[in-house]
Amino acid sequence: MSSSAEAGRRPAAAFFDLDKTIIAKSSTLAYGPSFYRNGLISRGDAVRGAVAQLLFSRHGASHDRMEQIREQVSQLCRGWPADRVREIVARHLDELIVPYVYDEARALLDAHRAAGEDVIIVSTSGHEMVGPIGALLGAALVIATQMEIAEGYYTGQIDFYAYGPAKADRVRELAAERGYRLADCSAYSDSITDLPMLEAVGHPHAVNPDRALRRLAQHRGWPVHVFSALPSARPAARP
């Protein structure tokens, strides 16, 4: 039976960025090879995406780089059938995403759920990619970029860009809708571009932070986490 204190406790949530916080790569760029094999992008686009993925994995993405990726993705996806994209994402999830989920992140997600908190993924990547990842990881819901779709095809326009202050605004809206007290909530991110979201909650955390966020987190006394363990890095079991 729940105690009176537990019964009266307001709900709380843990908000997680996705790329380099939960997974060790860019979820958007991860699907480049699959989109190429399915005829959605050219070989040159696939090569440029692979280079961008390498740079992102090593150095993260600055504001200017994020804006560049947003423009490139908007132009590339114009005319793509939305159902085809969803099918490709679902079919390659186990191959392209699961092996890159940090063990430490998975443990944190489990810990927040065990504490009775909602886990919410907040990502600049498209909802078509983030939604299935969130379902796989047991997230209560996701906040992600919404591309405009008309008659089943992407128009190249963006209905909602989940980036910077827009992430924090949606977090506040969600807290009002679901009754979260933000002072009791947590947020995790690797990037200084997520500072508005981190400042919106009572318990901000820096995960694999870029240089600017690491410096700020140390100055403010925020916890700094280094995630590195990946399922694919484990040695194969001997028969």
Which residues does the annotation mark as catalytic? Answer: 17, 19
C-alpha torsion sign, points 46, 48, 54, 59: negative
CB 137 within 8 A of CB 161: no
Helix (H, G, I), strand (E, B) or coil at 193: helix
DSSP state of 190: S
Secondary structure (DSSP) of 10-66: PP-EEEE--BTTTBSS-HHHHTHHHHHHTTSS-HHHHHHHHHHHHHHHHH---HHHH
Q: Cα(89)–Cα(96) distance, rounded to whole angstroms?
A: 9
